[in-house]
């Protein structure tokens, strides 16, 4: 017998797992010291916290926290991470007990706020960095990409959490599983 369907009770931990990946991606993006942007000659890189140039074998680093736009980016990313951890805790507690739509929709709203905050921060950074630098060609690094990855995961999960209320009986195992193909 071949059956193709989705066993909701077994898949209910996928969403908290995605949120855990988003938390890890955010931590990598925020804590990365290798930079968010670097030039092609590897003589200049800039992370969320500092801006460094290699001059004749020595590095000349300046603190970006002296600029208001860099403080705003750091604040948006860190506040987004804190709200993301809160949404993860709400989601995990809701999945440990019998899932109900209230906490999951609350997690979805929090995740949308996280995605919005981090989207703004990830746009402010390159715009203001490009205003400061006029020479050379620069590339965005993997750390900046992890920031975007966390933002995209949060946005996708926010839509799923807000629409998940119709699947709560299936997740709890109260309804029979619908199979697409049965033989």
How many Å apart are CA 88 and CA 92, to the nearest integer? 6
Q: At CB < 8 A and 24+ separation, what contacts does 63-72 make?
A: 67/128, 69/124, 69/125, 69/128, 70/125, 70/128, 72/121, 72/124
Q: Would you tell me which CATH number, out of the four given (1.10.10.60, 1.20.140.150, 3.40.50.720, 2.70.150.10), belongs to the domain 3-40+68-182?
A: 1.20.140.150
Write down the pTM of the prediction.
Answer: 0.82
How many Å apart are CA 58 and CA 84, to the nearest integer? 39
| Residue owning tokens 């997690």 | 107
Q: Which of 43-47, 96-100, 110-114, 177-181 has the highest mean pLDDT?
A: 110-114
State the pLDDT confidence band at 63, using cuts at 50, 70 and 90: confident
Task: Output the pLDDT for position 74.
Answer: 92
């Amino acid at each position: 017998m071949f059956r193709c369907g989705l066993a909701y009770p077994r898949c209910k931990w996928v969403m908290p797992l995605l949120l855990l990946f988003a938390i890890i991606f955010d931590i990598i993006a925020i804590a990365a010291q290798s930079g968010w942007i670097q030039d092609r000659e590897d003589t200049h890189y800039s992370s969320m916290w500092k801006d460094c140039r290699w001059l004749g074998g020595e590095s000349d680093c300046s603190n970006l926290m002296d600029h208001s736009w860099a403080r705003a980016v750091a604040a948006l990313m860190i506040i987004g991470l804190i709200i993301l951890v809160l949404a993860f805790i709400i989601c995990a507690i809701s999945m440990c007990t019998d899932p109900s739509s209230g906490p999951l929709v609350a997690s979805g709203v929090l995740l949308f706020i996280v995605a919005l905050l981090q989207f703004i921060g990830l746009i402010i950074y390159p715009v203001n960095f490009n205003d400061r630098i006029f020479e050379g060609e620069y590339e965005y690094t993997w750390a900046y990409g992890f920031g975007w990855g966390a933002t995209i995961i949060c946005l996708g999960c926010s839509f799923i959490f807000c629409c998940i209320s119709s699947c709560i009986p299936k997740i709890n195992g109260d309804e029979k599983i619908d199979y697409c193909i049965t033989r």
